[in-house]
């Protein structure tokens, strides 16, 4: 099918007007000015008034979590079978909301690996998934109730090896306290620099990228100096943090959603100690995000999806929060596509290019001037994952099912 007359954001920027995109099964066959398709006689779709962009990528999700207030209580009472079903439901929900790829940054006993493998193989029609397995924390550290607790460089190395042995795609290390873990403070570094360095080095030895939950300066610096690939949250980034992150090309995954959702929750029941930490962090978080953005730092979208009052299906709203905090819409779109794909090592995804996977989101209107056109699901008109429709409000499905074994070379135009 030839998609024509719509604007095209290719993951890096807007293409000149007049370009069209030809789909061939699971791949993008060609993107070129419309005149290049003069001899094409197959089905066409007029997307006047719409924008075509890559499917979105959520770099920070938790498939075992469902937005409940007390995740520790929920996770401890659910069986592995129930957790696996929850992971499937959350993965499918994410895809239906425009998230064609995601990174799970902390699951439970590796049940999410089975769902990852099923989605990635096509057994389940879901997003492409990367998964960290158990996140690694100090004894009693952030989210210790489902993490792998480790103390000292040798034990951290062993914990990393356990995740690699289980089949992880990346490693997550907890560098500081967290909002929802009782008895820990955000400003306290947890792992020492030596422990972080040992964990990152072991991950690198096996070619596994690394991410760190790091909210405040000392923990951020410990992670960055250890060689971390991404800082998750970065609630308080001082000049020293920003300088060292820039020097090492570290990606910030800001996750502005969870604090917004927690503070804005109407259901109540949030412990006062958690609300106190959330309010302390919220304004600092937005300022730190803006400071890193203004300094030219690399930023990727991640919504910390699944955390309290932040269920799957709303991840794209993170783009709205990023823009509200001072990011240009076109840069937010890049953070949710090309930069995110690079961080997750998703070759052939996150950009609209010839021969890339047909992971597409088509929205009504112009998200470069109004990010809400992507952030809000009501404006989504078509979602394709490997050429298959996960959402079709344009009535194109009859011509979009991929034909098995179709080769790009058989397309004629």
Question: pLDDT tens digits for the chain (413 residues)?
Answer: 999 999 999 999 999 999 999 999 999 999 999 999 999 999 999 999 999 999 999 999 999 999 988 877 778 789 999 999 999 999 999 999 999 999 999 999 999 999 999 999 999 999 999 999 999 999 999 989 899 999 999 999 999 999 999 999 999 999 999 988 888 888 899 999 999 999 999 999 999 999 999 999 999 999 999 999 999 999 999 999 999 999 999 999 999 999 999 998 755 688 888 899 999 999 899 999 999 999 999 999 999 999 999 999 999 999 999 999 999 999 999 999 999 999 999 999 999 999 999 999 999 999 999 999 999 999 999 999 999 999 999 999 888 865 443 333 333 33
- Per-domain residue ranges of the chain: 2-54+352-410, 56-344
**pTM assigned to the model:** 0.95
Q: Round to whole Å and give the CA distance between 318 and 410.
A: 40
DSSP state for residue 185 in the 8-state scheme: -
Instruction: Please give the CATH superfamily to which domain 56-344 belongs.
Output: Metal-dependent hydrolases (3.20.20.140)
Query: Counting beta carbons within 10 angstroms of the beta carbon of residue 244, is it exposed (0 to 12), middle (13 to 18) or buried (19 or more)?
Result: middle
Q: Round to whole Å and give the CA distance between 41 and 389.
A: 22
Q: Round to whole Å and give the CA distance between 377 and 317.
A: 9
List CB contacts of 163: < 8 A, sequence separation 6 or more. 132, 133, 134, 136, 148, 171
Per CATH, the architecture of 2-54+352-410 is what?
Roll (2.30)
């Amino acid at each position: 099918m030839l998609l024509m007359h719509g604007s095209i954001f290719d993951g890096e920027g807007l293409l000149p007007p007049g370009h069209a995109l030809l789909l061939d099964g699971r791949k993008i066959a060609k993107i070129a000015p419309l005149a290049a398709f003069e001899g094409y006689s197959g089905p066409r779709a007029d997307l006047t008034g719409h924008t075509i962009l890559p499917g979105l990528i959520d770099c920070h999700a938790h498939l075992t979590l469902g937005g409940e207030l007390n995740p520790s209580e929920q996770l401890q009472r659910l069986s592995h079978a129930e957790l696996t079903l929850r992971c499937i439901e959350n993965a499918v929900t994410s895809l239906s909301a425009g998230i064609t790829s995601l990174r799970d940054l902390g699951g439970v006993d590796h049940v999410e690996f089975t769902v990852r493998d099923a989605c990635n193989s096509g057994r389940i029609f879901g997003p492409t998934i990367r998964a960290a397995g158990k996140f690694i924390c100090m004894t009693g550290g952030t989210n210790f109730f489902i993490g792998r607790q480790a103390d000292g460089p040798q034990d951290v190395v062993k914990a990393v090896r356990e995740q690699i042995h289980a089949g992880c795609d990346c490693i997550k290390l907890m560098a500081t306290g967290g909002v929802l873990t009782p008895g820990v403070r955000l400003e306290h570094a947890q792992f020492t620099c030596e422990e972080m360095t040992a964990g990152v080095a072991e991950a690198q030895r096996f070619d596994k990228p690394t991410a760190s939950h790091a909210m405040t300066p000392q923990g951020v610096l410990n992670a960055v100096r250890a060689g971390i690939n991404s800082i998750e949250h970065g609630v308080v980034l001082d000049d020293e943090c920003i300088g060292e992150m820039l020097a090492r090309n570290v990606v910030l995954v800001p996750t502005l959603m969870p604090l917004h959702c927690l503070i804005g929750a109407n259901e109540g029941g949030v412990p006062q100690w958690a609300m106190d930490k959330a309010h302390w962090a919220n304004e600092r978080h937005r300022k730190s995000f803006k400071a890193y953005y203004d300094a030219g730092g690399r930023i990727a979208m991640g919504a910390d999806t699944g955390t309290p009052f932040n269920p799957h299906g709303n991840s794209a709203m993170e783009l709205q929060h990023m823009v509200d905090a001072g990011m240009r819409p076109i840069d937010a779109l890049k953070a949710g596509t090309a930069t995110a794909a690079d961080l997750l090592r998703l070759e052939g995804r996150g950009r609209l290019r010839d021969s890339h996977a047909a992971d597409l989101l088509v929205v009504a209107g112009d998200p470069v001037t109004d990010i809400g056109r992507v952030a809000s699901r009501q404006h989504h008109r078509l979602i394709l994952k490997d050429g298959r429709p996960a959402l079709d409000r344009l009535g194109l499905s009859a011509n979009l099912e991929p034909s098995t074994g179709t080769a790009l070379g058989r397309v004629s135009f």
